[in-house]
Amino acid sequence: MREVAVIGIGQTKVEEHWDKSLREIAGDAVLLALQECGMDSTESIYVGNMMSGSANHQQHLGSYIADWVGMRFSEAVHIESACSSGSAAFRAAVMAIASGSINSAIAVGVEKMTDSPGSEITSQLATAADADWEADMGLSFVAINALLMQRYLHEYGWDKDDFAGFSINAHANGAHNPYARFQSPINKSAYQKAPMIADPINLLDASPMGDGAAAAVLVPVEMIKRPGQKMIKIAASAAATDTIALQSRKDSTWLTAAEKSVIEAYSQASVKPTDIGVFELHDAFTIMAALSLEACGFAERGQGPRLAIENQICPKGRIPVATRGGLKARGHPVGATGMYQIIEVVQQLRGEAGETQVERPVYGMAQNIGGSGSNIITHILKAEHF
Amino acid sequence: MREVAVIGIGQTKVEEHWDKSLREIAGDAVLLALQECGMDSTESIYVGNMMSGSANHQQHLGSYIADWVGMRFSEAVHIESACSSGSAAFRAAVMAIASGSINSAIAVGVEKMTDSPGSEITSQLATAADADWEADMGLSFVAINALLMQRYLHEYGWDKDDFAGFSINAHANGAHNPYARFQSPINKSAYQKAPMIADPINLLDASPMGDGAAAAVLVPVEMIKRPGQKMIKIAASAAATDTIALQSRKDSTWLTAAEKSVIEAYSQASVKPTDIGVFELHDAFTIMAALSLEACGFAERGQGPRLAIENQICPKGRIPVATRGGLKARGHPVGATGMYQIIEVVQQLRGEAGETQVERPVYGMAQNIGGSGSNIITHILKAEHF
């Protein structure tokens, strides 16, 4: 199996891109990534996206994006696994290069959600859940996560306010990221006063939708010829599923798919949790941040919120998370999110994360969650020359 | 790069499955494929599908299908490239196994189109075209192909009736396939009297929509341990794109993406067109059958219809196509079609194709077309012990 590295990254700001189409947003990220490493094309393109078929009346995003960025004739395909579509596209690129079938690839995650009214997007987001047994019963995606959080509060005796730290840390970090949707810090009082969306999830527990794209150029390590070429190795890539409906799980407050994929990833990279210098986790809701930290071995079961309370998740803490704002403040353009996580880990490993730079990380981890924990993909990246 | 083989296949009949949901159809094909090779699960599932997000209000098909077939915790992902989604899923499975990342996979193509009214499906099919420059201008997918066929007739001086042979051959073969949507032969008179859909494409030039699923189990050749295990090797897997909008091509009557992917496939398998014993091509419209035969080197440019006129495409002909009915008679449940093509080639290479069995094929080829020729994926399979 050939080793694979990221040599170029690109992203757009997450916001409401009224003046740009889906292909323009994706194209901007792809061209920036190519430009950064001095390439003008790759053999294949893997496009992560969740809802363009309904939100933008456009499927077939592989050909659509390849054509737009001047790479017609390249191989191109669209990959979807709800909110983990971005990292699923990245993983497909990694495996294609590792197989020897191709020698260069772009993975790009893109989502343009603000073309449609919010009510339509809410119903499209619910297609990540079980149509028959969740969505058709009236559960929105926020409602599913609210049930989960309610159960967690009940089981472990936390107060809702104990989750404030996740949101405060994300917004504090996002304030230093020019690509973040929200760039203002918040305080605990703002969190406490935020309007309730689906009890106990309030506005500051939930990540905002938005339009955005993030891209990375991947090549086999053996083909990197330029001395001094920036290179971040993929040390591990692993994925696992769980039931699509939350109600089908015997244990709803434990992310089994996260545990399975992270155990496999730690094994591939020959590392343990304490080796991970930065962790871009999937804080679509604050409860998901807590559950990820637990499943990945950074907190005991039921103790995820303690890391936020003790502020161990800030850039100088024991396990920095959401260092560029996370889903909460950078924004959550669903199919793009996994690729934002990847390139943010790359920024950290390169030492290019500015005011929120973590000190000397060698390994960085990105974990992307599709559905209510039903499709979880974990990547560990490694800085080769820091 | 590890060699990969298909060891199990399964399919459902293509029809209007009013009594079955999307997951039941896909599950039936997956379980049949597993049963055939005596397995009960694989490490990963690759689901090819085009339009479930809009037609069935269900995305996230990886987790959705994995859960249903009892493979929760496996890796699972959904792959889309319009009508070539099925073979794109197969290619993803091939590369994942070839990379050494996983040791077993299922590729399944599934589409359930008859839940929605025909007018809605027509508009969803148009999401394979360019939303801004084709679909929004009022072009349906049939209309795009009609423009292409009109141009071809004009350039090469054929009469519309010269395409009848493609449809007649497909229906003659489909009559012997219990999984085909249409199992009655047609004659030239029926073709000539068929109602016009979009001039010059009539009802018998066009493939029917339908519900269906087809699946294959893949493993590395080196891990096949059982003596006598049925094994069909993947000798080549290649993909290429062209512009998404037909109008953007300098040369609209030539399938450049087919040519590029087939040249790469011939090279990988070290074969030439005369080595191909059976060719499951993408006859969504009769014009596409002609163009595929030309791009793959079976006919001179502009001479594709001659193979139909001379009946060189029947099971005993020089280059048998649509041997199980093709898209025309077996049916075209869009995201499933690529996988039907693959398993039909497997049937031929195993000698299990009944009355339409081709004599002693060693190599079989499947070519799946997404959009109006904008995403074309070619696989060559090889019978190891015939």
Q: Are residues B240 and B363 in the same domain?
A: yes
**A198 phi/psi in degrees, rounded to 5:** -145, 105
Q: Are residues A246 and A276 in the same domain?
A: yes
For A100-111, how does the pLDDT look when each residue is reduced to its tens digit (9 = 90+)? 999 999 999 999
Residue B230, pLDDT above cutoff 80: no
Residue B386, pLDDT above cutoff 60: no
CATH code: domain of residue A170: 3.40.47.10
Among residues A191, A223, A255, the one where a domain terminates is A223
- Cα gap B359→B244, rounded to integer Å: 38
What is the β-pairing status of strands B44-48 and B75-80? Answer: parallel
For B124-171, how does the pLDDT look when each residue is reduced to its tens digit (9 = 90+)? 999 999 999 999 999 999 999 999 999 999 999 999 999 999 999 999
Neighbours of A362 (CB within 10 A): 16
B314 is catalytic: no
Q: Are residues A45 and A163 in the same domain?
A: no
Catalytic residue among A83, A176, A282, A379: A83
Task: State the burial class of residue B276 (Cβ atoms within 10 Å of its Cβ: 0-12, 13-18, 19+).
Answer: buried
Q: Is residue A230 part of a domain?
A: no
User: What is the enclosing helix (H) or strand (E) of B87?
Assistant: helix B85-98
Q: Are residues B109 and B131 in the same domain?
A: no
Q: Are residues A90 and A101 in the same domain?
A: yes
For the segment A205-216, the average pLDDT, to the nearest whole number, is: 98
Residues of A in contact with B111 (CB under 8 A): none
Residue B46, pLDDT above cutoff 90: yes
For A315-362, how does the pLDDT look when each residue is reduced to its tens digit (9 = 90+)? 999 999 999 999 999 999 999 999 999 999 999 999 999 999 999 899
**Beta-carbon-side half-sphere exposure of residue B40 (alpha carbons within 13 Å):** 2
Band of the pLDDT at A385, cuts 50, 70, 90? low
Residues of B in contact with A51 (CB under 8 A): 53, 59
Are the C-beta atoms of A363 and A269 separated by less than 8 Å? yes
Among residues A192, A223, A254, the one where a domain terminates is A223
pLDDT value at residue B68: 98
The residues in A 191-250 lying below 8 A from B, measured between CB atoms, are 237-245, 248
Structure token pair of residue B264: 């790469």
Among residues A223, A249, A265, the one where a domain terminates is A223
CB-based contact A75 B240, cutoff 8 Å: yes
CB-based contact B240 A21, cutoff 8 Å: no
- Cα gap B144→B134, rounded to integer Å: 8
Residues of A in contact with B73 (CB under 8 A): 240-242, 256-257, 260
For B1-26, how does the pLDDT look when each residue is reduced to its tens digit (9 = 90+)? 899 999 999 999 999 999 999 999 99
Q: Are residues B14 and B111 in the same domain?
A: yes
Q: Are residues B145 and B108 in the same domain?
A: no
Q: Are residues A21 and A128 in the same domain?
A: no
Residues of A in contact with B123 (CB under 8 A): 57
**B128 phi/psi in degrees, rounded to 5:** -80, -20
Residue B326, pLDDT above cutoff 90: yes
**A356 phi/psi in degrees, rounded to 5:** -105, 25
**B172 phi/psi in degrees, rounded to 5:** -60, -40
Q: Is B252 on the interface with A (CB under 8 A)?
A: no
- Cα gap A185→A310, rounded to integer Å: 18
Q: Is A54 on the interface with B (CB under 8 A)?
A: yes
Q: Are residues B198 and B280 in the same domain?
A: yes
Residue A238, pLDDT above cutoff 80: yes
Q: How many domains does chain B have?
A: 2
Q: Are residues A27 and A52 in the same domain?
A: yes
Residue B165 belongs to domain spanning: 118-205+236-383
